Copies of this chain bind each other. A is one copy, B any other.
Amino acid sequence: MTGIKDVAERAGLSVATVSRALSGKGSVSPASRERARTAASELGFVLSYHASSLASGRTHNVGLVVPSVHRWFFSAVVEGASAALLEAGYDLTLYNIGENAAHRQSVFSDFLLRKRVDAVIAVSLELSESELQQLHAVHRPIVGIGGPLPGASTIRIDDTAIARQATNHLIGLGHTKIAHITGHEAYDQDFHLPGTRRSGFEKAMNDAGCPVRPEWIVSADFTIEGAYAAARQLLAGEERPTAVFAASDEMAIGTILAARDFGLRVPDDISVMGIDGHDLGTVLGLTTIDQDAKGQGALAVHTLLGAITNGTALEAADTQHPTRLVVRTSTAVPPADAG
């Protein structure tokens, strides 16, 4: 393997000068820089990542922790973050936690702490006080997406407000009999999204004087399949709502599919809407609130990179990411007979 020494030799320079020439730090005469560069490329030399990380303390690597790349929202965030990092010359180390709680633990103690990342992006992950402190102790800036991280910088959307906005969209169309598909309790522990969206829904209903019927609040696991099953149950009930607001697009899609299987037309017989901005939304005509997941991923990266290059500690700011109501064809006025 050719090292920087070989390059120095070939260029007739010292190792130190070559290092400076190649990294662009410190002053080097244009002539030397050029000689270093050509020598390096002639030899096909590439810096040893570990050696330079060890010496400089910079890893040029960001850790991204997600529950599951298999779910739409997370993979969108990964895409956004990945592109931004690649652009900046950074590597992305992915920690796909999965269901396994043991994984989560080992990611923390064995991986994240091993000084192998310059920064961490945690998506929909609630970290304990002590975990955050460990991260702080090793001076790793961290930004959270979609979850409240006490004392860390976070990017998120105003879940209560958008749930309200979504509900109001339905109410504005004339619906009063609205059901809500929320997330299972388990998801609420880790991360309060289902509860927050649900409370936004309830507030809007109350404000409009619409009754919130407990049997019309069902929960699922945020997947299309899960919501499909839940929606079937909901629609099989005695009385049927005229609209369903699902806490995520995937669950809204599950609902639409269930409705179709019941012979219900969307939106004629029943309106459905979600939150996310899922790609499938266009095909299904899903009305939703787009939260620009990719953009959130990219923003997280830029925030971190800023902090890294400035060396400034990331302040614990809560950045509100903009959302956008996208009205398509899954919502309409309620059927006439449903007065």
Q: Which residues from chain A sit less than 8 Å from chain B, CB to CB?
A: 1, 44, 46-51, 53-54, 59, 61, 64, 68-70, 75-76, 78-79, 82-83, 86, 89, 91-96, 98, 100, 103, 106-107, 109-111, 113-116, 134, 138, 223-225, 228, 254, 257, 260, 279-280, 282-284
Q: Is the CB of B48 within 8 A of A115?
A: yes
Q: Which 8 A-B pairs have the closest CB atoms?
A: A49-B116, A82-B96, A49-B114, A50-B53, A94-B94, A50-B54, A50-B50, A46-B113
Q: Is the CB of A98 within 8 A of B75?
A: no
Q: Is the CB of A106 within 8 A of B86?
A: yes
Can you list 5 residue pairs at the A/B interface with Cβ under 8 Å?
A50-B51, A69-B69, A69-B75, A78-B96, A86-B95
For A109, the closest partner residue in chain B by CB is B46
Extra 19 A-B pairs, beta carbons < 8 Å, given A46-B110, A64-B94, A254-B283: A1-B138, A46-B109, A51-B54, A69-B79, A70-B76, A70-B78, A75-B75, A79-B98, A82-B94, A83-B103, A86-B95, A86-B103, A92-B93, A92-B94, A93-B94, A94-B94, A224-B279, A225-B280, A260-B260
Q: How far is the CA of A50 from the CA of B52 in the complex (A)?
A: 9
**From residue A90, how far is it (CB to closest CB) to chain B in Å?**
9
**From residue A286, how far is it (CB to closest CB) to chain B in Å?**
12
Chain B positions within 8 Å of A79 at CB level? 68-70, 96, 98
Chain B positions within 8 Å of A69 at CB level? 69, 75, 78-79, 82
Chain B positions within 8 Å of A115 at CB level? 1, 46, 48-50
Chain B positions within 8 Å of A257 at CB level? 283-284
- With beta carbons under 8 angstroms apart, the residue of B51, B113, B224 that contacts A280 is B224
Q: Which residue among A75, A93, A107, A109 has the maximum number of chain B CB atoms within 10 Å of its CB? A: A75
Chain B positions within 8 Å of A228 at CB level? 283
**From residue A125, how far is it (CB to closest CB) to chain B in Å?**
15
Q: How far is the CA of A46 from the CA of B106 in the complex (A)?
A: 12
**From residue A151, how far is it (CB to closest CB) to chain B in Å?**
19
Q: How far is the CA of A209 from the CA of B106 in the complex (A)?
A: 58
Q: How far is the CA of A148 from the CA of B48 in the complex (A)?
A: 29
Q: Is the CB of A93 within 8 A of B93?
A: yes
Q: How far is the CA of A50 from the CA of B49 in the complex (A)?
A: 8
Q: Is the CB of A50 within 8 A of B116?
A: yes
Q: How far is the CA of A50 from the CA of B94 in the complex (A)?
A: 18
CB contact under 8 A between A83 and B111, given known A51-B54, A225-B279: no
Q: Is the CB of A94 within 8 A of B78?
A: yes
Q: How far is the CA of A1 from the CA of B138 in the complex (A)?
A: 8
Q: Is the CB of A93 within 8 A of B91?
A: yes
For A76, the closest partner residue in chain B by CB is B70
**From residue A245, how far is it (CB to closest CB) to chain B in Å?**
20
Q: How far is the CA of A47 from the CA of B54 in the complex (A)?
A: 12
For A113, the closest partner residue in chain B by CB is B46
**From residue A38, how far is it (CB to closest CB) to chain B in Å?**
16
Q: How far is the CA of A69 from the CA of B91 in the complex (A)?
A: 16
Q: How far is the CA of A138 from the CA of B5 in the complex (A)?
A: 18
Chain B positions within 8 Å of A92 at CB level? 93-96
